[in-house]
Structure 1
């Protein structure tokens, strides 16, 4: 009886949701038809019956659920004791293959047995695995006697193993893959290994205190595995592959000193010892590990002081390019610095990171991702390397979360917390999304699973990205990045919970009593009904704010072509005229833009020949708008040649977000080689609109 990945996912949804799972949710999550899901449910019921468990129950008009008895028994039955209970996807099989080969030479038959695929499928998988090895500058070889093996530098092998372990530990909805990881690394687990794991967790808690950080649970599991592997690695030597000067730098860090202390403790407890070369690699891993939060102290190395300055420049650039100002900037700087410290070491030591949210960020937040990539030049110069998209996506999550911080100061009736294992960037992003979606709920805490288990929190609701044991407050399981189908489900669950905390009838009665004190009610029945509707609709789904494209803002009537103006002040006034005419802005906004240049200098000249004057939304913006002035003769915003502009584009933003899609398209258009000259040489507005159209794509 086969229980494949999709059917296992359906079972996991029912088990983890502690309630009814509706058909719409399953269709949206899996992207398949209702007919397919009903077939899957039949197959799952057959599997449950084979295991002696009760089948899935159906609540008419609501959805599907598991009985209490089935939920109790399921964790012990859904294991890999029978390998055919779960089919790994190709991506998962590749990780298993790489993990096996990086630890030892392996025969074709062993690879087939472990992944439960045919010979033909395994050859296709090996071809793909070989391709992935090229990224790590290694290659796959085959010898008849020993089988397949990986050839390459030891440090590269360590990077590959770290990458695979990290991927498996952070893979969503795949406990089977995690279980397979332990089977491969520890095929014959003994009592010593069972004692070593809790010992290492305790030692890592001590290291956290020494380094003033709090690691995520995934990072703790990852480090435990890396240390256990390091103890067994007696023959590998990477010291000759690391620069001598870099070795000295590593040995002076608190992280290395913590590993030395850990090594002493391991020897005292007779668990073995960590070879000196492995201590260097573990130090790199420790420095590059993502944290949930950090207790920032006053002391800072020269390198970290420079990184703090880089953080300020990144935020400056994002604000400049994005034509916005972040609220509570100091806190943003601290959070971004906390994230970038380990990111700096990951980039410095070529430690790759698995960002499972990269595709979702690129798909659902392309404007924020694009503007983030444009803001990282100072970080790239500081590190001397390009920033990979995986790292850029984490930084984009910081900015994406912070963009929604404004207008969040309304009175909140209910308290909640977020439990998230994905680090400070993902936690902040999720928090902001939930606060925007649920205006009556205040998120008091964002914590890791360990912190949740160790303390009690007085909240009404807990939002969690991972399965956790419910305490006093009900738990709602959420993804780290929300899209419309997730929002709808969350709103429904929140509404159900809050109605049980504070029933609608009770709220209506309180309101009726208050109204009766101060007014005469002529139709109490009608008023009660209207109040109940109003309160009941309090958590109707809030759709994402619509973000117009560039060609929706830069229309023909917003474009002007002039030969010259007498001053930069006149350039701003002339460029803003169409927005004044259609009442997108008032005169106060024009004066605010001019005042900003006097106050802050020619910051509006974002690159040669291009100026984007703007001010704050509250300084006279009525609705989102953009206007475009082309000058044949450039106007000077200062006495320096680099501050001359022939294109003066006025932006009137209503908040920190709505204009970002159009602005990212504008930025892309202006950064394309040759486009600035084409725009300056345009004969009429139609020529400009033709170029604008090319970049106005979803």
Structure 2
């Protein structure tokens, strides 16, 4: 803050000078601050008097050019924390992403003339480029409201929206925004400690990423509140009070420390929501009812996923890990605080099948929330399913966990708290079955491992860690492995564990992908063969792949039935009709139908995959000879009422999974169709099998 002997108008003008590396004319000062010529001169004189007394170079006046604050004066002002922020003199040749971030920050700051001409001059680019930048900002934040005034562009959104913009940019690890927040002029370590200390009263164990994110947000919140930008009328105070304990009082305590007893109820609720929405390793602040609900939902989700994939995941430790994650998902969806991340974008691209299965598995949580779960949240949850079968979740103590990690040949590290290292574990352990990988570790665990006798040869980390701090090599990879990551990992494994390596065909594929980015491949088969001969002499690639048939191949007209429902028709009749179509082709045995009936009577209508659409299936070992599917469309719905659950069914699919995940492709395609509400509505009213098949395919 400025000293008291500098007026507010002069303070604003001095702040303005620190933002530009150019001359500012007297006319520009008069127009920008809407003051007279005399007032402008008085403020310039007041600033120069103040700078002289502080021993700082005064604002320079060059005839025919205007006024300019020299760089040495700016550096002194920032060093002494007389002004806050960061100079804009290094804004030449910025990337588009950084330029957008800087424009967003200038709009949020609100003290500057954010005009197209000024931005063009500031960033040394054309007006057309700046116009495109504003369009790109609108695409990033569709609800942003940037209005044009006689002084330039201005943000016209409420404070809550502005906070969520920064929240999203920080989640995406936006370095420009981080830099601005760090240079606001506060004690980073003090705010970091405030977040760490809050965990005790919150009964929450934040992930490392969450602690860092909350620290940035707390600094930003304090800055906004200090400038009278307040979040008001924030809802859900009473809901948080009734369903959690210690959260609201912890937020109040934080604001008491920051503002010495003066704070706003809207800010308390908003901070409480942000903390509840953070990724945690453990949470104890939710009341018994919510705790029990989330545990039940976790079990239902795992059960549905197991039924879809024929994988076995369920144990108490896995349920606990998933439940901890689901709290953050639940709170973010309920409070409408979106989750975004560059890693999640990659997950959505790389694991579309897993995401499709997870969408269906998460229906109990959607029903509990009474709204759809965003795909970004689904992508996070799918990481746990993608790793759950292989990850050695166990209730071992801290000492035993570190001892076990020390016996591993490769240490896997992650700080994100979203299960990325679990997914990494799953991928690597399947590809390199002879290598011993550690259970996923946090960064802080590494120092404990190296204090005891260890046999680890290499650290693979999805987080940035200081390589020189550890006695063994460290390689940094993406949470979702890229082709380059795969090649680097393969090379390091051959260097440090040559006897544990098997012939790995994946590395050839990754090399082919990298080569194709830079050159046109005329004969991919020959190139693949030559690469294989070079890397694996005297070995050949096993190109046999499991054939996974499509929905088009399996859902023939023979396997579609339009069934009339009368007052005596039951769901058992519908199931029998669907099973008979498959048993007549010897796709399933009669006992398969009996197993489905047992499952429904034991678990209720366990696989309602969309409104009115049920997918009946059982384990392959219970009479599934090969993959197949049938469809029974009803002219009136039937009711499945089992285990205190009651659902209407207008369409029933009977799926035979085959012996080794042959059903994955058809299931993925089917899920895509049933999530298309418009298409399903047409199918449900159709009266012709040929039309139904065309709509399905």
Q: TM-score scaled by structure 2?
A: 0.65
Distance change (3 Å), C-alpha of 1:549 and 1:421: farther
The reply to whether residue 256 of structure 1 matches residue 256 of structure 2 is no
Match of 1:185 among 181, 185, 191: 181
Distance change (3 Å), C-alpha of 1:451 and 1:256: farther
Aligned equivalent of 1:664: 668
Conservation of the 8 A alpha-carbon contact between 1:572 and 1:650: no
Q: Give the deviation of 1:198 after TM superposition.
A: 2.0
Which entry has the higher C-alpha Rg, 1 or 2? Answer: 2
The reply to whether residue 97 of structure 1 matches residue 103 of structure 2 is yes
Distance change (3 Å), C-alpha of 1:414 and 1:403: closer
Q: How does 1:67-466 map to 2 (within 5 A)?
A: 83=90, 87-89=94-96, 91-107=97-113, 108=115, 111-112=119-120, 115-130=123-138, 132=140, 134-136=142-144, 138-144=145-151, 147-167=152-172, 169=173, 171=174, 178=175, 180-185=176-181, 189=185, 193=186, 196-232=187-223, 233-236=225-228, 238=230, 240-243=232-235, 245-246=237-238, 249=241, 253-262=245-254, 275-276=263-264, 278-291=267-280, 293-294=281-282, 297=284, 300-319=287-306, 322=308, 324=310, 326-402=312-388, 414-452=408-446, 456=450, 458=454, 459-466=456-463
Conservation of the 8 A alpha-carbon contact between 2:159 and 2:231: no
Q: Give the deviation of 1:287 after TM superposition.
A: 1.7
**Separation (CA, whole Å) in 1 of partners of 2:608 and 2:253:** 54
**Separation (CA, whole Å) in 2 of partners of 1:106 and 1:491:** 52
**Separation (CA, whole Å) in 1 of partners of 2:147 and 2:245:** 36
How big is each residue's C-alpha offset from its partner over 1:435-454, in whole Å with a ceiling of 9 and x where there is no partner?
22222234433234344467
Question: Secondary structure, in 3 states, of the residue corresponding to 1:418?
Answer: strand
Distance change (3 Å), C-alpha of 1:543 and 1:535: same
Conservation of the 8 A alpha-carbon contact between 2:596 and 2:618: yes
Q: Give the deviation of 1:309 after TM superposition.
A: 3.6
**Separation (CA, whole Å) in 1 of partners of 2:540 and 2:463:** 24
Q: Which has the higher contact order (CA 8 A, sep 6+)?
A: 1
Distance change (3 Å), C-alpha of 1:343 and 1:427: same
Q: Give the deviation of 1:394 after TM superposition.
A: 1.7
Aligned equivalent of 2:37: none
Distance change (3 Å), C-alpha of 1:619 and 1:162: same
Distance change (3 Å), C-alpha of 1:647 and 1:428: same
Q: Comparing 666-675 with 429-438, which one deviates more in the overlay?
A: 666-675
**Separation (CA, whole Å) in 2 of partners of 1:183 and 1:633:** 62
Q: Give the deviation of 1:343 after TM superposition.
A: 2.7
Distance change (3 Å), C-alpha of 1:648 and 1:466: closer
Conservation of the 8 A alpha-carbon contact between 1:593 and 1:614: yes
**Separation (CA, whole Å) in 1 of partners of 2:220 and 2:264:** 14
**Separation (CA, whole Å) in 2 of partners of 1:199 and 1:653:** 59
Distance change (3 Å), C-alpha of 1:310 and 1:139: farther
**Separation (CA, whole Å) in 2 of partners of 1:307 and 1:681:** 43
Q: Give the deviation of 1:464 after TM superposition.
A: 1.0
Q: How does 1:11-50 map to 2 (within 5 A)?
A: none
Structure 1: 5+ residue stretches without partners = 1-79, 172-177, 505-532
Kindly report the root-mean-square deviation, in angstroms, between the aligned alpha carbons of the 2 structures.
Answer: 4.8
**Separation (CA, whole Å) in 2 of partners of 1:133 and 1:636:** 44
The reply to whether residue 577 of structure 1 matches residue 583 of structure 2 is yes
Question: Secondary structure, in 3 states, of the residue corresponding to 1:328?
Answer: coil
Distance change (3 Å), C-alpha of 1:549 and 1:304: same
**Separation (CA, whole Å) in 2 of partners of 1:150 and 1:364:** 36
The reply to whether residue 650 of structure 1 matches residue 655 of structure 2 is yes
How big is each residue's C-alpha offset from its partner over 1:54-79, in whole Å with a ceiling of 9 and x where there is no partner?
xxxxxxxxxxxxxxxxxxxxxxxxxx
**Separation (CA, whole Å) in 1 of partners of 2:540 and 2:211:** 38
Aligned equivalent of 1:520: none
Distance change (3 Å), C-alpha of 1:229 and 1:371: same
Q: Give the deviation of 1:431 after TM superposition.
A: 2.6
Conservation of the 8 A alpha-carbon contact between 1:567 and 1:635: no
How big is each residue's C-alpha offset from its partner over 1:167-197, in whole Å with a ceiling of 9 and x where there is no partner?
3x2x5xxxxxx2x3355335574xxx3xx22
